[in-house]
Amino acid sequence: MKYPTFVALFALCLLAGCDQPSQHLATQLENPVADAPYRTGEEIPAVAYLQHNETYNAESVIPPQCYTKTDGVNNPCYACHQTDKSDVNKPNQMFDGHLQGSYDFSDLGTKNHWKNLFIDRTELVRNISDEQILEWINQDNYSEFIAKQQNNADWQGEITPIQNLAYPNKAFDDLGFAKDGSGWVAFNYKPFPSTFWPTNGSTGDVMIRLPEAFRTSQGVYNQDVYIANLSLVEIALKGLDGVSTPLIDEQHIGLDLNNDGLLSKISYLNKQNRYLGDADDTLAYQLYPEGTEFLHTVRYIGVDKEGQIYNAPRMKEVRYMKKHRFKSKAALAASYYREAKEKSFEQLPQTLYIGDSGVNNTFGWLINGYIENEQGQLRPQHKQELAFCNGCHKTVGSTYDQTFSFARKVTGKKGWGYINLKSMQDVPNKGQQQGEFLTYMQRVGGGDEFRQNQEMLKRWFQKDGHVDKQKVAQAKSLYELITPSAERALALNKAYLTIVKEQSYIFGRDATLVKAQNVLQHIDESQQPLQPEHRYVWDMQLDWSKP
């Protein structure tokens, strides 16, 4: 097994401030922290940067997708960057539609540091058999991780156990409530285009949990109260007048919620001024109440004996967010202004690290993440790996209160329950007529941001490069649209496993099979800007009233 030269690591250790670099590095070479191979031509592997706390990419908030070649007409940027000022009440003041295809980066950011995009992994995966990868992805690495956290007296971060989370059918009931009484609730949502499509590398799910006061009445757990408050969060975030709900017994709440003069069982909840039960917070437009938590697992692509795709037990990552502080629209506006001011003075993005609790995005949220070590066990992410999270959960124009998934939940009663791609169709976005994923493929020119998913191109595109609109519109479900073949799923799993063995996440987490062709390695003034007619305004909320 090869390791970087002693001279290269010696110099790196001096930069990192080692007292006795030659003795220290001799130990590292003999017993490296992560016994990861590195490819010929790489002077320093990713693990060396982490071992010596040497910053590799100070612009890691720029995700890999931002380096996609647009050629003036292909626009994956619109999904994140928006300038819709028609809603004067919305708290998100990041009007960043001008960033679509503009490559408006700092001098440091003009270099694409996501070098894993440019690796052909054909040879690296050749010796991984289908049997080996299936055995790997079908192992539960979450339960052991939680037990380790619970038994670690020094751990100061959050602990988020959900019994049987590796096996969702055991973990959640039909409404998505965790069977272990932990208060976590899974919901059915449309995956964000297109990084979170299974065909592009991963499966996943999201769970929400409201603070205890939102789950209790007079100190006692009350599921009617909890269902009502979850529905009120949906009403607040989406700006609705009301939603359908699982059956709620008004007698258990003690309030006439539908104002009919009776305490009865209802299946539709009108907007209220305040949350119910022991909670007393006021509903805030497009904002979650303080204490709201999200748990997001990013998983390998499961393949069963019939070749069907599902969420595998093994998790690539476990991601966590908690709204530790409520910020009003005015307070958020000040935070957006501060960010804009720092950028105007050409300051590099700052990430506020808070030890075991992860990072503070300065917009009211704590963000933490866990990722596989070389043996496949989940571990806390290094601060350089965590900085990547701020790229999406800080200042992005399309988000709702710095989040994505809950605004994309199937509205009302049908949206409570574990994610099920077979239950959803390609509905349009708010104010649109055509299916969202069809629109996305038209605007992007492919089935992924990089336009290199050959299987999607063959399935849904014509020989002239245009989307086959009729074929896409006739897809029976999202499952048919965005899940890969069993062959591709296994190949993507194998490709990602090589990244795990390298521990090279700071070089990129996208499990590309071959070298990316439509991605820039360096930005210069020769890049063609997007033509005006290929810039778009959209709302990532969905119109679930349409098939």
Q: What is the mean pLDDT of the chain?
A: 92
Give pLDDT tens digits for 256-281. Answer: 999 999 999 999 999 999 999 999 99
Specify whether the CB–CB gap between 255 and 310 falls below 8 A: no
Give pLDDT tens digits for 53-98. Answer: 999 999 999 999 999 999 999 999 999 999 999 999 999 999 999 9
The end-to-end CA distance of the chain, in Å, is 55
Identify whether 10 is part of a domain.
Answer: yes
Instruction: Please identify, among 270, 303, 337, the residue that sits at the C-terminal boundary of a domain.
Output: 270
Please tell me the predicted confidence (pLDDT) of residue 503. Answer: 98
Instruction: Please identify, among 238, 270, 302, the residue that sits at the C-terminal boundary of a domain.
Output: 270
455: CB partners within 8 A, 6+ apart: 199, 447, 484, 485, 488
Identify whether 132 is part of a domain.
Answer: no
- What percent of the chain is modeled with pLDDT above 90? 88
Whether 12 has a pLDDT exceeding 70, the answer reads no
pLDDT level of residue 282 (50, 70, 90 thresholds): very high
pTM score, two decimals?
0.92
- The total of other beta-carbon atoms located within 10 Å of residue 96's CB is 21
Identify whether 194 is part of a domain.
Answer: no
Please tell me the predicted confidence (pLDDT) of residue 184. Answer: 98
Closest CA to 212 of 152, 154, 155, 279: 279
58: CB partners within 8 A, 6+ apart: 108, 348, 349
Identify whether 412 is part of a domain.
Answer: no
Give pLDDT tens digits for 309-368. Answer: 999 999 999 999 999 999 999 999 999 999 888 888 788 888 899 999 999 999 999 999
Specify whether the CB–CB gap between 125 and 488 falls below 8 A: no
Strand, coil or helix: 288 = coil
Identify whether 368 is part of a domain.
Answer: no
Give pLDDT tens digits for 211-262. Answer: 999 999 999 999 999 999 999 999 999 999 999 999 999 999 999 999 999 9
pLDDT level of residue 37 (50, 70, 90 thresholds): very low
CA 137 to chain centre: 20
Query: By mean pLDDT, which of 332-336, 343-347, 373-377, 420-424 is the weakest?
Result: 343-347
How far, in Å, CA of 290 to CA of 1, rounded? 50
Specify whether the CB–CB gap between 164 and 333 falls below 8 A: no
- Burial zone of 10 (CB within 10 Å; 0-12 exposed, 13-18 middle, 19+ buried): middle
Specify whether the CB–CB gap between 137 and 312 falls below 8 A: yes
How far, in Å, CA of 352 to CA of 358, rounded? 9
Identify whether 253 is part of a domain.
Answer: yes
How far, in Å, CA of 109 to CA of 64, rounded? 11
User: Residue 181 to residues 129, 153, 506: CA-CA distances in angstroms?
Assistant: 40, 24, 36
Please tell me the predicted confidence (pLDDT) of residue 349. Answer: 82
How far, in Å, CA of 150 to CA of 145, rounded? 9
User: Residue 400 to residues 85, 113, 392, 407, 452: CA-CA distances in angstroms?
Assistant: 14, 28, 11, 7, 30
Domain of residue 38, residue span: 6-51
Closest CA to 366 of 325, 317, 403, 316: 325
Helix (H) / strand (E) element for 6: namely: helix 6-16
Whether 447 has a pLDDT exceeding 70, the answer reads yes
DSSP calls for 239-266 = T-SEEEEEEEEHHHHTS-TT-SSS--EE
Instruction: Please identify, among 51, 69, 88, the residue that sits at the C-terminal boundary of a domain.
Output: 51
Identify whether 324 is part of a domain.
Answer: no
How far, in Å, CA of 346 to CA of 343, rounded? 5
Give pLDDT tens digits for 99-152. Answer: 999 999 999 999 999 999 999 999 999 999 999 999 999 999 999 999 999 999
- Burial zone of 327 (CB within 10 Å; 0-12 exposed, 13-18 middle, 19+ buried): buried
Report helix angle 6-16 to 21-30, nearest 10: 130
Top pLDDT among 334 and 22 is at 334
Please tell me the predicted confidence (pLDDT) of residue 348. Answer: 82
Top pLDDT among 11 and 497 is at 497
Identify whether 344 is part of a domain.
Answer: no
Whether 15 has a pLDDT exceeding 50, the answer reads no
Whether 16 has a pLDDT exceeding 60, the answer reads no
Q: How many domains does the structure of the chain reveal?
A: 2
Please tell me the predicted confidence (pLDDT) of residue 345. Answer: 78
Strand, coil or helix: 185 = strand
